[in-house]
Structure 1
Amino acid sequence: MLNKVPEVTIWFWIIKILCTTVGESFADWINLNLGVGLISTAVIFTGALAAVLARQLSAERYIPFVYWLTVVVVSVTGTLYTDILTDSQGVPLALSSSVFAAVLAVVFGIWYARERTLSVHSITTRPRELFYWLAVLVTFALGTATGDWTLELTGWTAGVSVLLPLGLIVAITAGWRLGANPVLSFWLAYILTRPLGANLGDWLGSPTGDGGLGLGTALTSVIFLAAILATVVYLTRSRSDVIEAKEPTGTPRALNPARERGMLAYYAVVAVAGAALLIWANHQPHAAASGEEDTPTPATSHISPQEATSPFPPSEIAKFRTITADTLAKVNSGDQRAATNRVTDLESEWDDDQSTLEPKSEKAWSFLDSEIDQVLKAVRAPRPDKATEVGALNTLLTSLG
C-alpha cells in the first residue's frame, strides 16, 4: 500500500507540537471544567481513538486531516492513561516512566525483528502501520510521565520546564545533522515533543500567579486547534508532506556506520548532561523550599485554631473562612473553573492584608500562609485531584475555626 504517514519536514514538527499542546489543554478542559472526571474522560477518548484509528487504517493513502486527527486523539489518550496511573492508582512517576520506556523498547524490538526497519518512510504494510501507531501511543504516555516527573523533581514552572525538552530537541537535531542515525534521531525527538507541547500548553493556560500566561485551557485549545486546522488545510493543498511512492530522484544522504557509532556516544553525553541538570535542579534551594511548603515548620506545626486566629480581627478571619467554604462547595459540585476563580480571591485578600496581619503575630500568620499555599497548589494544579483539594480546604477551614 502507499505510505500513509507524512514526510518528516518542518511542518511535521510544527503540527506535531501543536497537536500535543491542544491534546493536553483539551483533555484538561473536559476533565476539569465540564466535571466529567479522569476515568470517564479516558473512556470517552478511548472510544474516539478506536473510531479515528479505524478510519486511518481504512484509508488508501495519506490524508492529512485523518492522520493528524488521529495524532491529536492519541495524544489525549496516552496522556490520560498516564494520569490514571499517577492520580488514581498512585503509581510513582519514576516507575511509570521506567515501565513505559521498557514497553516502548519491546515494541521497537518486535517491530524491528519482524520488519527489519523502524523508518517512517517504509510504513507500507498493515503490520508496520499497526506497529507505528502502537509506538506513537506509548511515546505519548512515556513523554507525559517523564515530563511530569521532571516537574516533580525540579519544582520548575511550566514556562521554565519548556526549555529542557526544547534544548534536548535542538541537541538531537544537531546530532542528526552531524551524521547520527536518522531513525533513532526521529524517535528521540518524537518522544520529547510530548513534554515540550504539554509544558507549553500548561504555560499558556496556567494562571499568572503560577508562572503561566493565564489564557486558560479553553482559549489555549481554541488557538491551537485553529493553528492545526490552518496547517492541515495548507498541507492538504500543497501536498508538501506526501511521501511519493517512487524513490526520490536526488541522491540520498549516505549513511556512515562509523560516524553513527560516534554520534551514539554524543547522544549518551547529552543524556548524561540532561540527567545531571535534573539532579542539580532537584537539590537547589528553591526545590527544598517547595518541599518545605508541603509541611509546616516545627515552630508552627502544632498551632491550634484558637492560636492561629486569635491575634487577628474576627471580621478578617470570617472573610477568609467564607471564601474557603465557597471554594470547597464549588470543588464538591465539580465546577473546577469556578473553584479556581474563587480561590484567587483568597490569594488576593490574604496578600492585601499581609502588611496589617503579619505584624500582629508572625507565627500565626506563617502558619495560615502555609495552609493557604497548600490550598492554592491543590486547586491550581494542572490536573487537580479532588481528594487533595477537599483535604487542603477542610484543613484550612479547621484552622480558621
Structure 2
Amino acid sequence: MNILISGASVSGPVLAYWLKRHGFTPTVVEKAPTLRKSGGHAVDLFKPAMDIVERMGALDAIMERKTGTEWITMIRRGTAKPVNIQVSRLMGGISARHVEIMRDDLSEVLYDATKDDVEYVFGDSITSISGDGEVTFERGAPRRFDLVIGADGLHSNVRRLVFGPESSFTHWLGAYIAVATIPNYLDLGDRMAGMPTVGRMVGVYSARHMDDARAFFFMRPAGQLDYHYRDTARQKELLREQFADLGWETPRLLDEMDRAEVFYFDSVTQLRMDTWSRGRVTLVGDAGYCPGPAVGGSTSIAVVGAYVLAGELAKELAGGQGAARGDHSRAFAAYESEMSEYVRRSRDFAMTAAKRLIPGSGAEVWALINGARLFTSLPTRLTRAITRRGGGNLGMHDTFEPKDYGALTPAHPPA
C-alpha cells in the first residue's frame, strides 16, 4: 500500500518509520527545499514519546542533542534578586522521562532514522487530492496513492485542501509568541533567563551545542492583532509596541530581534476539529489537533499520534483482522478513538497554561514565580504524586500508554 505523507518535520518522519516497519510504502513530500538547519526553538518530549523514539533506535541521538538547560532564572521586575528554578526538578515532577531538544535537531534525528528506507521529495507541495487517490503537485508529476496523511503542521496545506479554510477550526487562546535567532551575547549554555510581567513574558536561552541563542516573547494583548502572517516587519513592529517599556535585557533583545534573519511569529491558536479524517485522507500532529504552540505538549502528542496512526493502519490493513480487513476508514476511526482523550486533555491543559505563562495581574506574576519555586523545592517523588492525583492535566503525558503494535510488524520488514 502506497501512502503519501505531507510534512517532514516531526510527525511525518515518525509516521514514515512505523509505516515502513509495518510493511507499507510511505513517501514524504516536504515544501522546504531541504531540512531546516536554523536550530528552531526548544521543544519537549515526555514519557510516551520518549518510549516511542527509543523503540525507533533514535534515543541516543536525541540525548546527544538535548539542550542541556539546567536552570531557569526568573527576573522579577523592580526587584534585584532573581529566582532560580532547577529544570530537572520542575520537569521531573511532570513526567518520569523528559528531554528538551531544539525542534530542527529533532527533525534531523528523525529524518536520519528514516532516510535510507523512505522516499523523501523536498521542494514540492500538494496542490490537489482526488477521491480516488490521484495527487497533483506544484512541481512533480501527478501520482496515485492509496492514502494521504497531512503531517504539515498548524497551517496544514492538506487540511486546507480537504477540510476547508483554517479559520473554520481555530480557537485563539488570547496570546502570541515570537522567537528570534540572535547572538549568544549572554554566554548562556545551561540556563534560560526570563522576565514575566503582567500580560507579557520575555526571555532568552541557548543550548550546550549551539553558538547562537533564542530570544522569545509571549504577550497577551487586549485583542487580536492586525498583521499578515508573511509580514515580518509588521510583526517585529508589534513586538516593539508591546515590549518597549520593559527593562532588564529587553531593549537589547528587541534590537537583536530586528536584525534577526531567522524569526518566527504566530498566534497561540488551538485547533478543534470534530474529525481528522475524510475519505482517503487523515491528519496527524499539529495538522489535526494542535493544542497551541508552546503551551500544550504538541511535539510529544505529534510523535504519539504518528505511532498510533501507523499501528492502527497495520492492525486493520497489514495485519488484517476480522471481516473489516482492508478498511482504512475503520483504521482512521480507531486512531481517532485512541487519541481523543489525550488530545482533549492537552487542549484543556493548553488553555490553562497560556494564562499562567502570561500572567494577567501582579498577583498572578507572584503566583507563577513562587509556585514554581515551591514545586521544585519538594522531592520529585512528592511532586510526581501531586501531578498524578491533584494536578489536573499537568501529568497527562505519563498517564497515556500507547498500545504495543509490535506484533503486527512483518517478520522481515522491507529494507
Normalising by the residue count of structure 1, what TM-score does the alignment of the two structures yield? Answer: 0.25
Normalising by the residue count of structure 2, what TM-score does the alignment of the two structures yield? Answer: 0.24
Kindly name which structure, 1 or 2, has the bigger radius of gyration based on alpha carbons: 1
More strand by share: 2
More helix by share: 1
